[in-house]
Amino acid sequence: MKGIRTLFTAMLALSIATPGIAASKEEVIINGSTTVLPVMQKVTESFAAEHPNVDISLSGGGSGNGIKALTDGLCQIAMSSRDIKGNEVELAKSKGKEPVRTAVAIDALVPIVHPSNPVADLSAAQLRDIYKGIIKNWKEIGGSDSKIVIISRDTSSGTYETWEEVIMKKEKVTPAALLQASSGSVVQAVSKNKNAIGYIGFGYLDPSVKKLNMESVEANASTALSRQWPISRELYVFTDGEPKGAAKQLLDYLLDPQKGQKAVSEVGFVPLQAQ
């Protein structure tokens, strides 16, 4: 599914022609995580309307690709659903770049099951045992007598990394887990399988699947913000040095509680608290 997404992630080049006036246009190129992409898409659309002198081109391709593009000087802003890695910083420094991190939103992960599943609440330890392959049957955790079909994200995704860190505590997900290449296909797979369990970002929740509570905490924006909800992570953008010029204007716009952060919640992520 990522393949499709990447293919379809059209270059969004918004330009408004002003005939007769030779206005100097500033160009901002943004690349990176497909998780952050929907936020950026929404934000750049309204930003471009307010700032006709800025040319924005936006494309997705994954956190790793975005950071690589920043390192190679192919973009000014790299979107990432994970923090930058040590060897990526080294590579960037060797090319004279200095990646600076800015948090832009909170993505909270939520475990999901088929709507017909009677199980409604699991603890982190139970989720871990399911994903380790120790709990194999729904009846062991109060469900019907059927085998649990474990659905996970591919091991390179930022979503998987968050899950591995917070839920798995660095233990390995069983090789029997079905790895899906995007959150959309996790929803698709869970909604089509009565015995499936999966996990996705808040932004991908829809009525075709049922979200699980964790030890009576319900997954929603306020529990994610207060960090009561245990599985959450920050989404970032990276720039070379502190953001400057049009890139700074765009990031300020993105962090503005009345503007960019509204788009963040519209897309389904959780806005950063107290701007």
Partner 1 sequence: MSSAPFRERLIHWALAGSAATSLFALGGIMFFLFWEGLPLFADYNVIDFLFGSFWYPTAEPPEFGIFPLVAGSLAVTFLASLIAVPLGVLTAAYLTEIASARIRRICKPMIELLAALPSVVIGFFGMIIVAPFLQDYLGADTGLNLFNAGLMLAFMSVPTICSISEDALYAVPRSLREASLALGATRWETTLHVVLPAALSGIGTAVMLGMSRAIGETMVVLMVAGGAGMLPTSIFDPVRPMPASIAAEMAEAPFRGEHYHALFAIGIVLFLFTLAFNIIAHSVASKHKQVGSSGL
Interface with partner 1, residue 101, by CB under 8 A: no
Interface with partner 1, residue 93, by CB under 8 A: no
Helices (H), 133-182: 158-166
Interface with partner 1, residue 183, by CB under 8 A: no
d(CA 241, CA 204): 32
Radius of gyration, alpha carbons of the chain: 20
End-to-end CA distance of the chain: 35
Among 31, 117, 162, 180, binds partner 1 (CB under 8 A): 180
Q: Where in 205-264 is the site for partner 1 (CB under 8 A)?
A: none
What are the beta bridge partners of residue 6?
none
Interface with partner 1, residue 141, by CB under 8 A: no
Q: The tokens 């989404």 sit on which residue?
A: 235
Q: Cβ of residue 248: shortest distance to partner 1, in angstroms?
A: 26
Helix (H) or strand (E) holding 54: strand 54-60
DSSP 8-state code for residue 141:
G
DSSP 8-state code for residue 185:
H
Interface with partner 1, residue 68, by CB under 8 A: yes
Q: The tokens 């808040």 sit on which residue?
A: 202
Interface with partner 1, residue 42, by CB under 8 A: no
Among 10, 11, 94, 147, binds partner 1 (CB under 8 A): 147
- Residue placing its CB nearer to partner 1 in the complex, 15 or 155: 155
Residues forming the site for partner 1 (CB under 8 A): 1-4, 6, 34, 61-65, 67-68, 71, 85, 87-88, 91, 147, 149, 154-158, 160-161, 164, 170, 172, 175-181, 185, 188-189, 192-196
